[in-house]
């Protein structure tokens, strides 16, 4: 066995070590010396890795490999029954930024029942979406307004705002929804789009005041 093969085997074994610091070093080594033989193991490990910092290094290591090798395998992972596998694959695709992955970002992923999967899908969608499909994406994202806790709602607001003015019709429609959580989130997102420096919590509180006054603050 050559030294390179020995080093490859050692790195692959390190990714399964019980010590997260060893797994972190192994992922760093794999990214520093990319080899197509690592890709399957990196993706497999992303699906089950419990440590955030190790997951981040695994993603980085995948970005060091050829996108022609990694993207098809990451897209395949989007069909996994394991939520973390879907979430990490989406996160990695967002870091790679390969536009060919856009068709794989389906409505099912954008509305996934798992918040982490959905949030990852929102982030990669606004990076990859073609200009002509932004309106349709905004309409799908708007169906998620009012969802989850503050962190999830902030992620959605940021994704919508990143799409630009195309989101305004969907936001205005959501401001008239019967669900108060949806209305509040829509108003807050519109406020945050107008004044990004205000912060999400301030926008939410302002939305509550607007709703208490019985108006959405729409103009025209």
Query: Is the confidence at residue 217, as pLDDT, over 70?
Result: no
- Residue 22: closest CA among 30, 33, 14: 14
Tens-digit pLDDT profile for residues 75-92: 999 999 999 999 999 999
Whether residues 108 and 174 share a domain: the answer is: no
Q: What is the CATH number of the domain that holds 49?
A: 1.25.10.10
Query: Is the confidence at residue 3, as pLDDT, over 70?
Result: no
Whether residues 206 and 149 share a domain: the answer is: yes
What is the SS3 assignment for 149? coil
* 74: alpha, beta or left? (left if phi > 0; alpha if psi -120 to 50): alpha
Looking at residue 219, its pLDDT comes to 40
Query: Is the confidence at residue 42, as pLDDT, over 70?
Result: yes
Whether residues 143 and 94 share a domain: the answer is: no
Residue 3 lies in a domain: no
Q: How many domains does the chain have?
A: 2
Q: How far is CA 204 from the centre of its chain?
A: 22
Domain boundary among 78, 94, 128: 128
Average pLDDT, the chain: 91
- Measured CA to CA, the distance from residue 98 to residue 215 in angstroms comes to 42
Tens-digit pLDDT profile for residues 48-75: 999 999 999 999 999 999 999 999 999 9
Query: Is the confidence at residue 139, as pLDDT, over 60?
Result: yes
Q: How far is CA 193 from the centre of its chain?
A: 20
Task: For 119-156, give one letter per residue: b (16+ CB within 10 A) or e.
Answer: bbbbbbbbbbbeeeebeebbebbbebbbbbeeebbbbb
- Residue 87, burial from CB neighbour count under 10 angstroms (0-12, 13-18, 19+): buried
The parent domain of residue 137 ranges over 131-220
Question: Residues with Cβ < 8 Å from 156, sequence gap 6 or more?
Answer: 119, 122, 141, 144, 145, 147, 185, 189
Tens-digit pLDDT profile for residues 158-185: 999 999 999 999 999 999 999 999 999 9
43-47, 118-122, 191-195 — which is least confidently predicted? 191-195
Whether residues 103 and 149 share a domain: the answer is: no
- Measured CA to CA, the distance from residue 91 to residue 88 in angstroms comes to 5
- Measured CA to CA, the distance from residue 180 to residue 93 in angstroms comes to 34
- Segments of the chain assigned E as strands: none
Whether residues 185 and 113 share a domain: the answer is: no
Whether residues 16 and 73 share a domain: the answer is: yes
Whether residues 91 and 146 share a domain: the answer is: no
């Amino acid at each position: 066995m050559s030294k390179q093969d020995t080093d490859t085997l050692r790195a692959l074994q390190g990714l399964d070590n019980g010590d997260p610091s060893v797994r972190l070093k192994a992922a760093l080594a794999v990214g520093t010396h990319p080899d197509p033989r690592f890709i399957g193991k990196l993706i497999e490990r992303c699906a089950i890795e419990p440590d955030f910092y190790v997951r981040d290094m695994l993603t980085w290591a995948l970005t060091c490999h050829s996108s022609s090798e990694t993207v098809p395998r990451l897209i395949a992972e989007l069909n996994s029954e394991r939520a973390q596998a879907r979430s990490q694959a989406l996160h990695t695709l967002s870091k790679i930024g390969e536009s060919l992955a856009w068709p794989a970002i389906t409505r099912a992923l954008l509305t996934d029942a798992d918040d982490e999967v959905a949030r990852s899908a929102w982030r990669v969608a606004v990076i990859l979406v073609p200009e002509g499909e932004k309106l349709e994406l905004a309409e799908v994202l708007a169906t998620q307004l009012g969802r989850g806790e503050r962190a999830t709602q902030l992620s959605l607001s940021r994704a919508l705002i990143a799409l630009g003015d195309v989101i305004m019709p969907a936001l205005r429609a959501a401001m008239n929804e019967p669900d108060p959580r949806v209305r509040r989130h829509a108003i807050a997102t519109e406020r945050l789009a107008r004044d990004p420096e205000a912060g999400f919590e301030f926008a939410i509180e302002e939305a509550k005041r607007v709703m208490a006054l019985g108006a959405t603050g729409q103009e025209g």
